[in-house]
Each structure stands twice: as C-alpha cells, then as structure tokens.
C-alpha cells in the first residue's frame, strides 16, 4: 500500500467514525474486513494514525481554531497531526496516486506551515483541552481528582497496555509466562492482580498459543481485581448479573474451580450467546447463560434470596476506558449521564433481591465519575438498610499477599495511580436472618 493510500484510509476511517456514531474500534474493524488487500503492516500504520488523531482531537482542534481553520474536519486534523510536534511537512508522494487524498491547496499548505512542529501543549489551552476530555465534565472530574486532575487525565491520553488474565483452570501464571516466552512474547506479572500478565507489545491473539488453548484471556488488571473481590468460592451459587460477553464470568468460574452454580445474565441475547466460544475455550462448564427481561423478570422473583454472590458490573459511561476508546468521550452528553445513573440505581436494587442473607452484592463500573460510583452506593445503602458495606481491604487480605492498592472502603482505580483502566468496586453484605 502506498503512503498516499495509507493517508487516505486514515481520513476515511475518521470520517466514518464521526458520521456513524458507532465505537471507533468497530468502525475500523469493519473497514479493514471489507478491504482484505490491506496488509498487516499497513493496517498497523493506519490504526496508529487514526488513534493518534483521536487521542489528540481536542488539542488539534484548538490549534486549528487558533489559526482560523474552517471547517475543522477529519482531513484538517490528519494534516495538522502530520506536522505538529515531532512531525515533518508531508512529501508530495503522500497525495499522489489513484486512491490518494485530495492534495493540499494553498490554504492547507499555509495551515501546515503555521502548525509545523507546533507544541501540542500551548500555554493558553484550557485544562480540558490539554487533558482531552469534554469541557462539561471538568467540575465533576475536579470533584473526584482535586489537584491531581491534570496528571490523572493526562494518563488517560496514553495508550493502554495489553493485560491478560491467567485461567487457573488450565495452569499457573508461571506456566503461562513460559508458553508466551516460547513464542517470543515477553510478559511481566501485573503488580496488583495475582493472576495477571502484562505484555510489552500488542500481538495478534489468534496466533498466540496460550490464548488459543484457553490458558489466558484478555482482561484489564482492574477488571481482574473486581472479579477477585467478588470472592466466589467452589460450591457457591453466584450470579454475574450484567455478564455481557463473559469476561468476569470466566474469572468467577475459575475462582469457583468449575464447582457450584454460576448464572450469567444479560438483557441482550446476542451478548449472552457471544460468550459461548470463550467459555468453551476456557474449559468452563458450570455456567448457565440466561437472558432476562430487566428488573421485572419473573426469574428474579422466583430466585430471590438464593445466591451467595451477585456481581453487578453495571452499564456505565465507560469513562474509565478512554485510553482504549478515545472517540467515546466526545459523544457522551449530560443527558447520557443522567440516564445511565438512573438505570444503574434500578439495576442495583433489582439484583440485590437475589442475594441470600449473609451473601454479598458486588457493584462495579468502568467509570471514574462519582455519580456512578460512590454516590450510587450511598443511595443504595440509604434505601436498603439490610445491606452494609465491607471494606475491600478486608477481602483483599484473604485473596492475595499483594498490598491492597487503596485505603478507602471501595476500590477506585485509575491509569495514573494504578496503571489500570478506571474502575470502581464496592462490596456489600446482606444481614443474616
């Protein structure tokens, strides 16, 4: 693929992401699937260019607006990205050939000359521009991170590492490291999760024997810690209430050593079905998949008070995953947050009905916003006095020798402080009869 073709593809994908409203990784994946002729190195170059522009969007837009560029679209951002800090003026060949992008006109060339090697951190940029998050979220994020806001949100700009969870049904962390090393894939133990590995570079998982055999699964270390705090044990009755594609379901099954009753619930049948291949590859056979119709589902009423553990990995804003999904932040609105918070409260109250006396309710999100996290727990506990919160440090000490990463009752993780995605987890126990 020519340099011109790569550049044109980058602009096309960014346009498609902006127009479709769908997650960027889905748009890019569909683009490449429809163009099998694009080789792996070309795909890698294009993907890196797309995500680099998305991670710099607020700063690129600010720089373009500062020199009165109009319109500020995908093409303008890509041209600016080529020449800003560390970049060089593009060669003519970048715009030559049958599939090339439109060559720069006089205004484009003037814009690139003015931005050539311009710093991405101008002293006049507002804090939300420098840290790449929506302006309307600044008061909420300041309330959470206080003076650490610039550093915390700065870490959100960076690319996330690739974390793996070792499937203890099939082997140990040391064995997984050895299998990976045999394929020249270096890995290091994660600092907090006792069963996590972090890869030094991204790999194509379909070519990784440890993944194909079910010895490892892709799972951010923060997500692994949520499953660890559920403290599911062999022989228990457990519900993964919002199971989705089954990442935490797999971790719970391994903790249970395939013994006991594990129900994976979700309101979307396609998500429940999608977990089947992962369960089979992992060697999990104690899971029953169930589609529920929301909080009024009769199954919930029939099984009230029947489970030792109920994990609610609630639908959320996904603000903790912005390192992986930088495009998502710009389509997130105050109305979206209001609707999500209301939905979470309903889901949590509904799932709580399943917990038996003495059992535990685990609430988790991949959000960094207080409204979805501490405020939800405070509201739930005030509405249902039959539950009380257990400090995560108490559970942590029983599950691993690694030091607990937080001193607060709930687990709150962030890229800057812990090297994970942004996660929240609170554990509550139902009073025994």
CATH code of 212's domain: 3.30.70.1170
392-405 confidence digits (pLDDT tens): 999 999 999 889 99
Q: Which of 78, 104, 125 is the last residue of a domain?
A: 125
Per the domain annotation, does 305 fall within a domain? yes
Please report the pLDDT score of residue 262 as a whole number. 97
The count of residues in the chain is 433
Please report the pLDDT score of residue 327 as a whole number. 94
What is the token pair recorded at 221?
A: 């270390």
Please report the pLDDT score of residue 202 as a whole number. 85
Please report the pLDDT score of residue 268 as a whole number. 85
Per the domain annotation, does 140 fall within a domain? no
Handedness of CA 79, 83, 87, 89 (dihedral sign): positive
202-252 confidence digits (pLDDT tens): 888 889 999 999 999 999 999 999 999 999 999 999 999 999 889 999 999
Please report the pLDDT score of residue 364 as a whole number. 98
Q: pTM for this structure?
A: 0.94
In degrees, to the nearest 5, what angle opens at C-alpha 380 toward C-alphas 260 and 392? Answer: 55
Q: Are residues 118 and 266 in the same domain?
A: no
Per the domain annotation, does 144 fall within a domain? no
For residue 217, what is the DSSP state?
E
Per the domain annotation, does 150 fall within a domain? no
Please report the pLDDT score of residue 206 as a whole number. 87
H/E element holding 411?
strand 411-413
Q: Are residues 103 and 25 in the same domain?
A: yes
Number of structural domains found in the chain: 3
DSSP 307-338: EEEEEEE-----GGGTTT-TTGGGG--HHHHH
Catalytic-role residue among 242, 265, 316, 366 = 366
Please report the pLDDT score of residue 324 as a whole number. 93
CATH code of 116's domain: 1.10.940
What is the token pair recorded at 129?
A: 């521009």
In degrees, to the nearest 5, what angle opens at C-alpha 256 toward C-alphas 266 and 285? Answer: 65
Q: Which mean pLDDT values do the consecutive 10-residue runs of the chain (433 residues) have?
A: 90 94 91 90 93 97 96 95 91 82 89 95 96 97 96 95 97 97 96 95 90 97 97 98 92 97 91 86 94 88 97 96 94 96 97 98 98 98 97 94 94 97 98 87
The question of whether 366 is a catalytic residue gets the answer yes
- Residue 160 phi/psi, 5-degree rounding, is -80, 145
Handedness of CA 420, 331, 23, 248 (dihedral sign): positive
Per the domain annotation, does 248 fall within a domain? yes
Range of the domain at 7: 3-125
3-state secondary structure of 161: coil
Please report the pLDDT score of residue 270 as a whole number. 82
Per the domain annotation, does 139 fall within a domain? no
Q: What is the spatial distance between Cα 238 and Cα 151, in angstroms, rounded to a whole number?
A: 38
115-167 confidence digits (pLDDT tens): 999 999 999 999 999 999 999 999 999 999 999 999 999 999 999 999 999 99
Per the domain annotation, does 338 fall within a domain? yes
Please report the pLDDT score of residue 200 as a whole number. 81
Reference 327, options 3, 12, 25; nearest CA is 25
Are 119 and 62 contacting, i.e. CB atoms less than 8 angstroms apart? no
Please report the pLDDT score of residue 274 as a whole number. 80
Please report the pLDDT score of residue 411 as a whole number. 98
- Residue 389 phi/psi, 5-degree rounding, is -90, 140
Q: Are residues 83 and 29 in the same domain?
A: yes
Q: Are residues 176 and 250 in the same domain?
A: no
Q: Are residues 117 and 32 in the same domain?
A: yes
Please report the pLDDT score of residue 1 as a whole number. 80
Q: Are residues 200 and 168 in the same domain?
A: yes
What is the token pair recorded at 312?
A: 């609610």
CATH code of 372's domain: 3.40.50.150
Q: Are residues 321 and 275 in the same domain?
A: yes
Residue found by looking up tokens 């994970």 in the block: 420
Per the domain annotation, does 145 fall within a domain? no
């Amino acid at each position: 693929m020519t340099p011109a073709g790569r550049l044109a593809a980058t602009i096309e994908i960014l346009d498609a992401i902006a127009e479709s409203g769908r997650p960027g990784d889905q748009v890019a994946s569909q683009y490449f699937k429809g163009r099998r002729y694009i080789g792996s190195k070309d795909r890698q170059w294009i993907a890196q260019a797309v995500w680099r522009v998305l991670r710099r969007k607020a700063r690129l837009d600010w720089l373009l607006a500062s020199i009165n560029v109009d319109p500020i679209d995908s093409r303008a951002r890509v041209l600016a990205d080529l020449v800003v800090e560390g970049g060089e003026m593009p060669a003519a060949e970048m715009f030559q050939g049958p599939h090339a992008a439109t060559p720069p006109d006089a205004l484009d060339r003037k814009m690139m000359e003015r931005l050539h090697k311009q710093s991405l951190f101008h002293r006049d940029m507002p804090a939300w521009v420098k840290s790449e998050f929506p302006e309307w979220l600044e008061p909420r994020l300041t309330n959470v991170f206080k003076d650490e806001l610039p550093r915390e949100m700065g870490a959100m700009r960076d690319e996330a590492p690739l974390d793996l969870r070792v499937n203890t049904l099939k082997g140990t962390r040391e064995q997984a490291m050895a299998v990976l090393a045999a394929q020249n894939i270096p890995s290091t133990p994660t600092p907090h999760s006792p069963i996590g590995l972090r890869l030094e570079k991204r790999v194509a998982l379909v070519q990784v024997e440890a993944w194909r055999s079910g010895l490892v699964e892709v799972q951010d270390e923060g997500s692994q810690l949520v499953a660890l705090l559920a403290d599911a044990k062999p022989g228990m009755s457990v519900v993964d209430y919002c199971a989705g594609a089954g990442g935490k379901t797999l971790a719970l099954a391994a903790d249970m050593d395939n013994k006991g009753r594990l129900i994976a619930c979700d309101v979307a049948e396609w998500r429940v079905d999608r977990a089947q291949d992962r369960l089979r590859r992992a060697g999990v056979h104690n899971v029953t998949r169930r589609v529920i119709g929301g909080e009024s589902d009769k199954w919930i009423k029939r099984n009230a008070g029947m489970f030792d553990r109920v994990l609610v990995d609630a639908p959320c804003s996904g603000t903790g995953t912005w390192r992986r999904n930088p495009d998502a932040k710009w389509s997130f609105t105050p109305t979206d947050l209001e609707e999500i918070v209301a939905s979470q409260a309903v889901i949590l109250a509904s799932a709580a009905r399943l917990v038996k006396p003495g059992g535990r309710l685990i609430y988790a999100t991949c959000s960094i916003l207080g409204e979805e996290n501490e405020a939800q727990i405070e509201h739930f506990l005030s509405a249902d006095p039959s539950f009380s919160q257990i400090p995560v440090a108490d559970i942590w000490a029983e599950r691993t020798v690694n030091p607990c990463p937080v001193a607060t009752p709930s687990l709150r993780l962030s890229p800057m402080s812990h090297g994970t995605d942004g996660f929240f987890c609170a554990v509550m126990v139902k009073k025994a009869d």
